[in-house]
Structure 1
Amino acid sequence: MTRLEGRVALVTGAAGGIGAAIAVAMAAEGARVVVADVKNGGATVATIEATGGQALAVACDVADPAQVEAAVAAAVDAYGGLDVLVNDAGISGGSGLAHEVEVEDWLRTVAVNLTGPFLCVRAAMPHLLASGRGRVVNIASTYGVVGAPQAAAYCATKGGVVNLTRQLAVDYGPLGVRVNAILPGYIDTDMGGYRAGLGPEGAAAANARRNAAAGLQPLGRQAGAEEVASVAVFLASDESSFMTGAIVPVDGGCTTTFRHP
């Protein structure tokens, strides 16, 4: 038996990056996976099905309550229930000093990064309670526990996800649903397609800057998305049975020491 055999997982932001890695890893552990994203999740589904797994792609903007409700309903209709919710969908929120941030950009970042996980929990929780083994895994960020240059919206929303995780653990632990969060650090993904718009040379330079910053951490490198995914699988499985409200860094040690620009 694999660790998530017979379970149904809904993973938001799963068309690429960390979310896709989590969806693939959970399917490999026996879960039937719903890939929810504003982008086409067909490639993630194809990867899962190529190794004999079961997956379904649904279009979902997590800031839209109706689309969230529809994604949860699609999971329940297709697979008969819901056991695991992974809130991965997020946006960078742009950069700039707080007084330079456009109000529309701030509101959109809050809507996706913080209201989105709330809406997903709100829609999924009745089914997670009914399953008897409900799990929520929130993908926050190291920027949710430290300040970072010119990232007011991102830091604020990821900090909100951290404390939302703790609050949900208080309410739902006695009811049998465990809620934990992961703090990814420097992960080798192109969040929001930023590097994709820079051209080959610009993308290489941007990634070189990230590698240089990651090199100052105790482990001295960026992580692969699959290294975050393995922790998500652990938190969704029975192996983490006495963990709830935990905020788990997967950051190469970057939050243990000073980080340089």
Structure 2
Amino acid sequence: METEQSMSGRVALVTGGGRGIGEAISLSLANLGVTVAVCDIHDGAERVVADIRSKGQQANAYLCDISNSEETSRLLDTITTDLGRLDILVNNAGVGGAHGRLHEIDVDDWDKTIGVNLRGTFLTTKYAMPHLLHQSPSAIINIASTYGIIGAPFAPAYCASKGAIVNLTRQLAVDYGPLGVRVNAVLPGYIDTDLGGRRASLPADQAAQMLQRREESAALQPLGRQATTTEVARVVAFLASDDASFMTGSIVTVDGGCTTTFYHG
């Protein structure tokens, strides 16, 4: 793995960096000497930046709705003005979407899920790309999901959005590899986090039941447990580094082996 000295001086943008996997990615990159632009739609970004700075590392916090084109364009202008460059983009921000069969979910919920997960990845990449091309070799890591390569129950919008990100990753690798920008995707499986605060919004007994179902499903995987957010972040940091210099268009599962066998969700 690259050392802090070899990553020092680089600048990364991590969307959805204010909690969960995004927080772990921000911390891991900062530990390697990267200056991190931690972006989120809520003030969790400020907390993560305070944590990074308390360790003598460099980070700035930014608020942005990445599904909004004007906001996202301004975000990239502001980051590159503040920090002078952009070498790494981690498209992590996402929402889980409604739980139900396709005909049961609300159209607005479908649009929001596609808007944040897919449109947000498109917009952030669109406005980041000129800066990444200027700093090439550079790297994009898209956080998709194992639900982007399997048909998971009761998650049509989420599966559709993450599946689109998987193939967008491949397409971007084709167009931008010759120009010095590597593009890879990381597909987490069962991770010990609560996407969108769904459990936190439920009564305690229902939240406990949801967590128990996740743990029981994770126990059926070859590795038999959920992952920590740090385990995902380490893979992202590797893909952002020069140690992964010959990887582009790669779809990397971090899932305890769940997609290698029959899925029980």
Q: TM-score range by the shorter chain?
A: over 0.9
- How far is the alpha carbon of 1:202 from its aligned partner? 3.0
Residue number among 96, 99, 112 corresponding to 1:92 in the alignment: 96
The residue aligned with 1:126 is 130
SS class of match (1:11) = strand
The residue aligned with 1:66 is 70
- How far is the alpha carbon of 1:214 from its aligned partner? 0.1
Structure 2 CA distance, aligned partners of 1:53 and 1:71? 21
Moved more, 1-10 or 30-39: 1-10
The residue aligned with 2:32 is 29
SS class of match (2:14) = strand
Alignment of 1:1-261 (within 5 A): 1-2=3-4, 3-40=6-43, 41-261=45-265
Question: After the TM superposition, which segments of 4 or more aligned residues of structure 1 sit over 6 Å from their partners?
Answer: none
Structure 1 CA distance, aligned partners of 2:206 and 2:182? 42
SS class of match (1:9) = strand
Query: For residues 130-176 of structure 1, what are the alpha-carbon distances to aligned partners after superposition, in whole Å with 9 as ceiling and x for unaligned?
Result: 01221100000000000011110000000000000000000000000
- How far is the alpha carbon of 1:203 from its aligned partner? 2.5
SS class of match (1:173) = helix
SS class of match (1:202) = helix
Structure 2 stretches of 5 or more lacking a match? none
Structure 2 CA distance, aligned partners of 1:27 and 1:78? 17
Structure 2 CA distance, aligned partners of 1:4 and 1:138? 20
TM-score, length basis structure 1 = 0.98
SS class of match (2:7) = coil
Task: Give the residue type in structure 2 aligned to 1:68.
Answer: T
Query: For residues 180-214 of structure 1, what are the alpha-carbon distances to aligned partners after superposition, in whole Å with 9 as ceiling and x for unaligned?
Result: 00000000001000111124433232211111100
SS class of match (2:13) = strand
SS class of match (2:253) = strand
- How far is the alpha carbon of 1:70 from its aligned partner? 1.6
Task: Give the residue type in structure 2 aligned to 1:37.
Answer: D
Query: For residues 31-72 of structure 1, what are the alpha-carbon distances to aligned partners after superposition, in whole Å with 9 as ceiling and x for unaligned?
Result: 100111101111110111111111111111110011111221
Task: Give the residue type in structure 2 aligned to 1:67.
Answer: E
Task: Give the residue type in structure 2 aligned to 1:13.
Answer: G
- How far is the alpha carbon of 1:73 from its aligned partner? 1.5
Task: Give the residue type in structure 2 aligned to 1:122.
Answer: K
SS class of match (1:155) = helix
Aligned residues: 261
Task: Give the residue type in structure 2 aligned to 1:219.
Answer: L
TM-score, length basis structure 2 = 0.96
